Amino acid sequence: MTTMKRFQGKVAIVTASTQGIGFSIAERLGLEGASVVISSRKQKNVDEAVEKLKARGIEVLGVVCHVSNAQHRKNLIDKTLQKYGKIDVVVSNAAANPSVDPILETQESVLDKLWEINVKASILILQDSAPHLQKGSSVVFISSIAAYQPQASMGMYGVTKTALLGLTKALATEMSPDTRVNSVAPGFVPTHFADYITKDESVRKAVEERTLLNRLGTTEDMASATAFLASDEASYITGETLVVAGGIPSRL
């Protein structure tokens, strides 16, 4: 594991970070010296994740936060400021994919939920945190390879992830020069969120064969890319999306 300490003295908020990609990102930032603020919807998950991170010597604060709840978002920022007094990094990782229906058959309530959690909450969490971001701060959105080519079974999810690419560009302009805004577009990573890949051996194999590296991604792969973009090593990078997908085609 890395011994770099790129986040010494920094405070990082990671949403939806008690398992999967979000947890690995929080762990990576913490191991590199950040004080990390993790969150998810369930207190039990928050408590368990806090214990795991503390066991690795990481300074961590856990807060229950359903990102589509305004009071929860405000509480997340308030608690962070009460404990650490500032914010240097925001990683917006929360996402939902409640349906596998074709877009034209997707219920309006499901469309609302997809926009609410995957796009709108990403904006609202930044509206709350932006006034407290330090000079030289960094925002990273977690998009998806599906942003470039939405798949049939998750078409609308893919479209919301495409919206994050536009949001990255727009906010990079709006938040410059003091805050950089980038995103990571993960390929297929076997997490609880994407268990449909791992449950079926033939699906897994088909996905692996689509990559040039003949393997699925790991949560650590995504954490490494996110940590790079959030760190001062990427101090001249803003408005960009880093595709971390093992060579699955994304664009020209």
Token pair 């368990």 is at which residue?
Answer: 48
Complete edge-to-edge strand list for the sheet that includes strand 133-142: 60-64, 35-40, 11-14, 87-92, 133-142, 179-186, 241-244
CB 62 within 8 A of CB 17: no
Between helix 219-230 and helix 20-31 the angle, nearest 10°, is: 50
CB 233 within 8 A of CB 32: no
Q: How far are the Cα atoms of 47, 78, 143, 179, 250 from residue 209, in angstroms, in the given order? A: 38, 46, 22, 38, 15
Q: How far are the Cα atoms of 24, 35, 36, 224 from residue 9, in angstroms, in the given order? A: 19, 7, 11, 19
User: Across-strand partners of 89?
Assistant: 12, 138
10 Å CB burial of residue 119 (0-12, 13-18, 19+) is buried
CB 12 within 8 A of CB 229: no
Residue 39 C-alpha from the chain's centroid: 12
Active site residues: 157
